[in-house]
Structure 1
């Protein structure tokens, strides 16, 4: 009990010392404030970017691979002249795979057409049109806020029905329930059967922003926009027990090489793309940004730490006489040590809190689709780094104060 009382007394002495030298205290914590602000601001920005991008990438599905003419390549030389000569992936190959793949729970053909005029009465807008087959909602998130998803029959007979985005509803059917109502798409009549939930702005709209999209059966899309045997996108979803989708990828490669008549010595003339490649590339960029934040903030914190250490040595010098009196009255060495150590940690914590508050205020800035969010983990990191800097900066001055001889200290001027 005596120990805790003395620790609290040390804390009180430290607080009084900081309050009695406000200008010096403020100047001392500026370095720590700037350092913590730099580190936590970068961490907050990186976390917010990563969250935004990963949310966007979630729309291309989990446990899904994409069959395409062009590979998704990151960080290496892109040999476009080699890939350009490859044949396009087509609908016939989609039917071939969907009938034969055993390690796939869904095979989907889809294609896109941007800036297509959609109209309803006097209202019109340019929308993104996506044609797709029935299992599209198995490989990608299609949250329906009103109405329903396609039926198998609607897909099979290429019926003119559509699932539209929230912005399409706002522009074509303002203040109305669009379900069951007709509209014109590329001059043809379509009926709304469903409305997707509003996604909002995003840094990456992989597969297109659902808010401005009209999702229609692939057959209806092909009749409007395709010539015979056109290029398409094929998405294939594997089973959860297929670790790394190795069995699925091997089966796709075998079937496609057989279909295209490739000899064993010939390279693949198609690409099996994985969303994880994009996520991995993005993680690498974020790692570089994180290191940059530590470097920038580290220099500021280093300067702030030296500033705090310098101020603590000055404080020890100024209060040498008081230290001698305290020790002559029975104060233990740890009481003196805690007194100065608490002062250094408290000074650093105040600087760290100021930096965190600045980051919090920064999170209110409007940065387009990017929403900055200061997380509890980053707050804890900032306070933790501040505490460590305070301990490292104050430990030597505190030890020097605790080891003073009381007789010599009392005589100091």
Structure 2
């Protein structure tokens, strides 16, 4: 009960100090408000940006290993011409991996060509991406079809001219009706539309996504373009299993099978790259760590100023209430009661300033954004309030200790 009374009195004294010296308190809390606003706004932007970046990169899938000619990162001093001399993955290698792999939940091969024009009647869609995919591609990367269907195994094996198109392509070519069963022309070939992919929306990179894409069977794509070891590149994708943490089993088996398929001797270097989404996400994480550190530095200076401001308020408050402190101690108030009274008051003022800063960040998130949705997370709110509470404790500890150690007789005689 005594603690509840202590907290109630501390809040009452803090509110009285706020009302009695409104301008002084506002100016003192301004530093904490600006500091928390700077830190939480940076963290909110970083979290939102990172989330949007990861969503934009969702096309590379999760728990997937990609067998390609080129690595996603060039580490060490490996000569670039050795990468250049590597052969592209082929359909033959894909078929052998598909037949022999035991640690994968799915294997697919795909290739793509940008800069295509999709045509239907008088409508056309320029700079679209045409992608050839094997039948099991949805096991590796999601293909969310909202209308129609996906290829059948027969259509894929027989290299039929069927196509699944993105939402933007569908709305451009077929603005007044369903595209299903309609024909369009791309790459000099006519295709029958059998499905429409769910709308993905713009991504933060401005990169082409499934909205601007047409997907056809890989066998059909291979007939249209020169896809092979020395031609247009392909990628073999292998989906890992949930019981394979880190995909180590899949990586080792894939490496061994690819070396065997390509007839590499034990001392020969790999002439293929095994890329993983973690390579991209780790690079992104490092960048955002630097941005977050910058936010702490910028906000830290403002919080430091705000901390001194709160400390100044508390020193003045102790001086103004010295007589009251003497009366409280003469009536039996313990030192810790006086200590926590001023400490709680300091924390309350700091939380007030931090809360205002968080409120300003929240108001900014309400501004509509086309490219990136900004969201203030619960974690950042807790972080802001936690930092505010720590600053309040550090700023008020010295004035609170001085107040608790006052001699009651001397304190009562003070004016």
TM band (smaller chain): over 0.9
From the superposition, tell whether residues 169 and 326 of structure 1 become closer, same or farther in structure 2 (CA, over 3 Å): same
Q: Find out whether 1:152 has 2:153 as its counterpart.
A: yes
Shift of 1:391: 1.2
Matches within 5 A, 1:311-326: 311-326=313-328
Shift of 1:299: 2.4
Structure 1 match to 2:406:
404
Listed one character per residue, the Cα deviations across residues 238-284 of structure 1 (whole Å, up to 9, x for unaligned) are 33323332232222222222332322222111111111221222222
> Which sits farther off after the overlay, 224-233 or 147-156?
224-233
1:10–1:336 CA contact under 8 A, matched in 2 = no
1:336–1:402 CA contact under 8 A, matched in 2 = yes
Shift of 1:192: 1.3
Calculate the aligned-residue CA RMSD, in Å.
2.2
Using the alignment, how far apart are the partners of 1:44 and 1:141 within structure 2?
Answer: 29
Structure 2 match to 1:180:
181
2:65–2:276 CA contact under 8 A, matched in 1 = yes
From the superposition, tell whether residues 227 and 305 of structure 1 become closer, same or farther in structure 2 (CA, over 3 Å): closer
Determine helix, strand or coil for the equivalent of 2:224: helix
Q: 2:300 aligns with which of 275, 298, 306?
A: 298
1:18–1:343 CA contact under 8 A, matched in 2 = no
1:7–1:335 CA contact under 8 A, matched in 2 = no
Determine helix, strand or coil for the equivalent of 2:124: strand
Matches within 5 A, 1:22-33: 22-33=22-33
Matches within 5 A, 1:263-302: 263-302=265-304
> Which sits farther off after the overlay, 175-184 or 158-167?
175-184
From the superposition, tell whether residues 77 and 353 of structure 1 become closer, same or farther in structure 2 (CA, over 3 Å): farther
The answer for unaligned runs of 5 or more in structure 1 is none
From the superposition, tell whether residues 381 and 364 of structure 1 become closer, same or farther in structure 2 (CA, over 3 Å): same
1:14–1:339 CA contact under 8 A, matched in 2 = no
From the superposition, tell whether residues 293 and 75 of structure 1 become closer, same or farther in structure 2 (CA, over 3 Å): farther
Determine helix, strand or coil for the equivalent of 2:323: helix
Structure 2 match to 1:245:
247
Structure 2 match to 1:361:
363
Determine helix, strand or coil for the equivalent of 1:322: helix
Listed one character per residue, the Cα deviations across residues 93-136 of structure 1 (whole Å, up to 9, x for unaligned) are 22232233233332211111112111122111121110111000
2:7–2:344 CA contact under 8 A, matched in 1 = no
Using the alignment, how far apart are the partners of 2:210 and 2:197 within structure 1?
Answer: 7
2:88–2:228 CA contact under 8 A, matched in 1 = no
Shift of 1:228: 6.2
1:44–1:374 CA contact under 8 A, matched in 2 = yes
Using the alignment, how far apart are the partners of 1:260 and 1:183 within structure 2?
Answer: 39
Shift of 1:353: 1.0
Structure 2 match to 1:109:
109
Structure 2 match to 1:91:
91
Using the alignment, how far apart are the partners of 1:38 and 1:323 within structure 2?
Answer: 37
2:227–2:234 CA contact under 8 A, matched in 1 = no
Shift of 1:74: 6.5
The answer for unaligned runs of 5 or more in structure 2 is none
From the superposition, tell whether residues 100 and 330 of structure 1 become closer, same or farther in structure 2 (CA, over 3 Å): closer
**Count of residues in correspondence between the two structures:** 412
2:169–2:213 CA contact under 8 A, matched in 1 = yes
Structure 1 match to 2:82:
82
Shift of 1:73: 1.1
Structure 2 match to 1:161:
162
2:64–2:140 CA contact under 8 A, matched in 1 = yes
Using the alignment, how far apart are the partners of 1:27 and 1:228 within structure 2?
Answer: 70
Structure 2 match to 1:216:
216
Shift of 1:366: 5.2
Using the alignment, how far apart are the partners of 1:6 and 1:98 within structure 2?
Answer: 71
Structure 2 match to 1:196:
197
From the superposition, tell whether residues 79 and 369 of structure 1 become closer, same or farther in structure 2 (CA, over 3 Å): farther
Structure 2 match to 1:386:
388
* TM-score in terms of structure 2 length: 0.92
Shift of 1:75: 7.0
Shift of 1:339: 3.2
Q: Find out whether 1:236 has 2:238 as its counterpart.
A: yes
Using the alignment, how far apart are the partners of 2:214 and 2:271 within structure 1?
Answer: 32
Using the alignment, how far apart are the partners of 2:192 and 2:348 within structure 1?
Answer: 66
> Which sits farther off after the overlay, 15-24 or 221-230?
221-230
